[in-house]
């Protein structure tokens, strides 16, 4: 076979330039796909919840560090409080992550690997969809990908060189950004430390200042989050730890299988298996010749990325043994796994299974994209995750009308609330004046709304209140509890939240006039639920 036709042979200069052009083409295609998807789907409840954070910027929040709030605030300050403004930052993070992995693959495997990484990133559903929605995964995966790139560049330099120190410092900056986005970024330094301990060539890096400088830099960037948590009695740390490792009912085996099934959907079944194989090969190849490798050898860099992918797998599987995990929790494995698959020279990574994996992932991405546009799959509206983004404008219109109901005449100020934080944030975004909306959180888990001024702080004697509860017996019971705070109350409209005529869920509005005795928040209790 001529060298020019061999996919494993080094490309000629002409072919190398062609591969880089192909990589840029896939990068542009990814940016276009993410922009299209961002415009098709209304904001999901979690997205409006994070948008609410932008109106009260802090160094930390109940659920996460402040990265997503800072990112969304940049978009809304520039473009206003609109759907595209909220998603502008995640879209930008997608471009950064895509470019970082293209550069990383090029550094490990040359221009052909760069073009392969660009295509893999485009078709893997998690990689594309993760940068459409305004969630902490967007800034986290972007900064985590940059940290992997800078780490690999640091490991490519001679020990104790100035270039190594520069790249280690940038690794610390990127790691600090990842820690400001999600606490699971801590898995990166844990993985790197483990790699240093077990591999003789990496162990030599303990003798240079770079890793310690990176640790200090990332720690300084993360310090405000620690101070915020101290001020709020470690509420965010406690929530995330209990969220990830608290025991729940159910079979550990079934939860592990559920975890694997989620990854097969997010990465596509064939590519997921190829990712595992690529990580295994990277670890095996560097381990088999570990005594002969220098500290900056290519195999050592691939080993480090393999450990970076392996450690999150172990942690998430341990968590799944204790409780159900969310499908996006193993996301830190994918930047390293994508690059290792793109850069591997193994024949199986260039043959029909690789092409079949790309094709299947592309089909899954197209199906999900079409479902985002129109409900084409035979899913009940209340079982369709995308449907959760629909119907909120209808509810907001009903609440806006209820605020002007004559029943509330005589009330001083009329406030708006919902019981669940998801509903409260959607109402705050969709109401015409985007007012303050409270989340009462009765019989539901605590969240960021409990750390801000609540209805118990702001509703004064004589005020009125409009609240959206679930349209069921439980919601009616909670509505009656709130009614004891007021002179009078009554049920308002029942609102169907729909998508293309299919009912997703229902909310019932309740109108309360002339507050008499609103209890302080300290007298209320929460039923903690996952």
- Which of the two residues, 258 and 405, has the higher pLDDT score? 405
Rounded CA-CA distance 262/267 in Å is: 9
Higher-scoring residue by pLDDT: 451, 320: 451
pLDDT, residue 522, reads 58
CA distances from 520 to 31, 357, 446, 526, 527 (A): 49, 57, 16, 14, 17
Query: What local confidence, expressed as pLDDT, does residue 7 receive?
Result: 61
Q: Decide if pLDDT at 10 tops 80.
A: no
Give 525's pLDDT tier (boundaries 50, 70, 90): very low
Span of 72-76, 175-179, 325-329, 457-461 with lowest mean pLDDT: 325-329
pLDDT at 8 (0 to 100): 60
> What average pLDDT does range 136-159 have in this prediction?
97
Domains of the chain in sequence order: 13-373 (no CATH), 388-523 (3.40.50)
* Contact in structure between 282 and 302 (CB atoms under 8 Å): yes
> Which pLDDT score is estimated for 502?
92
Higher pLDDT, 140 or 380: 140
Residue 4 pLDDT greater than 60, yes or no = no
pLDDT value at position 505? 95
**435 DSSP assignment:** -
Look over the chain and give the mean of its residue pLDDT values, rounded to a whole number: 92
141 closest CA partner among 381, 329, 363, 415: 329
The model's pTM:
0.93
- More confident position, 127 or 63: 63
Measured distance CA(132)–CA(33) in Å, rounded: 9
Residue 36 clears pLDDT 60, i.e. is over it: yes
Average pLDDT score over residue span 113-124: 96
The 10 Å Cβ neighbour count of residue 251 is 9
- Which 8-state DSSP code applies to residue 511? E
In the chain, the percentage of residues whose pLDDT exceeds 70 is 95
pLDDT in tens, 238-278: 998 876 555 555 677 777 777 777 787 778 899 999 999 99
Q: Residue 109: is its pLDDT beyond 80?
A: yes
Q: Which tokens go with 136?
A: 């902490």
CA atoms within 13 A on the CB side of 439: 24
């Amino acid at each position: 076979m001529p060298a020019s036709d061999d996919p494993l042979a080094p490309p000629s200069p002409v072919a190398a330039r062609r591969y880089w052009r192909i990589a840029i083409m896939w990068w542009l295609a990814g940016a276009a796909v993410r922009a299209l998807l961002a415009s098709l789907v209304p904001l999901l409840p979690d997205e409006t919840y994070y948008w609410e954070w932008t109106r009260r910027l802090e160094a930390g929040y109940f659920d996460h560090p402040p990265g997503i709030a800072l990112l969304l605030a940049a978009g809304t300050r520039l473009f206003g409080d609109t759907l595209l403004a909220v998603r502008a930052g995640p879209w930008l993070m997608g471009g950064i992550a895509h470019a970082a992995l293209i550069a990383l693959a090029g550094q490990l495997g040359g221009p052909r690997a760069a073009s392969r990484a660009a295509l893999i990133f485009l078709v893997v559903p998690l990689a594309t969809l993760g940068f459409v929605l305004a969630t902490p995964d967007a800034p986290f995966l972007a900064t985590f990908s940059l940290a992997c790139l800078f780490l690999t560049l640091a490991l490519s330099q001679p020990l104790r060189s100035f270039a190594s120190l520069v790249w280690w410092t940038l690794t610390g900056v990127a790691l600090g950004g990842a820690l400001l986005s999600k606490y699971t970024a801590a898995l990166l330094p844990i993985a790197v430390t483990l790699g240093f301990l077990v591999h003789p060539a990496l162990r030599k890096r303990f003798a240079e200042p770079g890793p310690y400088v990176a640790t200090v830099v990332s720690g300084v960037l993360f310090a405000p989050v620690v101070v915020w948590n101290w001020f709020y009695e470690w509420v965010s740390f406690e929530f995330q730890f209990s969220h990830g490792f608290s025991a729940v009912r159910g079979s550990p085996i079934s939860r592990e299988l559920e975890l694997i099934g989620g990854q097969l959907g997010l990465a596509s079944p064939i590519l997921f298996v190829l990712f595992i194989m690529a990580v295994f090969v990277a670890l095996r190849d560097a381990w088999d010749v570990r005594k002969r490798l220098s500290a900056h050898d290519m195999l050592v860099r691939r080993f480090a990325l393999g450990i970076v992918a392996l450690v999150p797998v172990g942690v998430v599987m341990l968590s799944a043994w204790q409780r159900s995990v969310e499908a996006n929790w193993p996301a830190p494995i994918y930047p390293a796994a994508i690059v290792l698959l793109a850069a591997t020279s193994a024949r199986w990574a260039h043959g029909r299974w690789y092409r079949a994996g790309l094709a299947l992932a592309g089909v899954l991405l197209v199906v999900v994209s079409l479902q985002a546009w129109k409900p084409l799959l035979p899913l009940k509206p209340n079982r369709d995750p995308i449907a959760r983004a629909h119907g909120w404008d209808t509810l907001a219109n009903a609440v806006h009308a209820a605020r002007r109901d004559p029943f509330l005449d005589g009330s001083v100020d009329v406030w708006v609330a919902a019981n669940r934080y998801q509903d409260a944030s959607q109402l705050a975004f969709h109401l015409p004046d985007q007012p303050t909306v409270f989340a009462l959180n009765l019989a539901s888990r605590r969240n960021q709304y409990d750390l801000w001024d609540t209805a118990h702080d702001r509703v004064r004697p004589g005020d009125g209140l409009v609240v959206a509860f679930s349209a069921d017996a439980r919601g009616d019971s909670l509505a009656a509890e709130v009614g004891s705070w007021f002179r009078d109350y009554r049920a308002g409209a029942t609102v169907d939240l729909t998508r293309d005529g299919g009912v997703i869920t229902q909310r019932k509005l309740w109108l309360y006039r002339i507050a008499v005795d609103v209890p302080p928040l300290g007298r209320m209790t929460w039923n903690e639920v996952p």
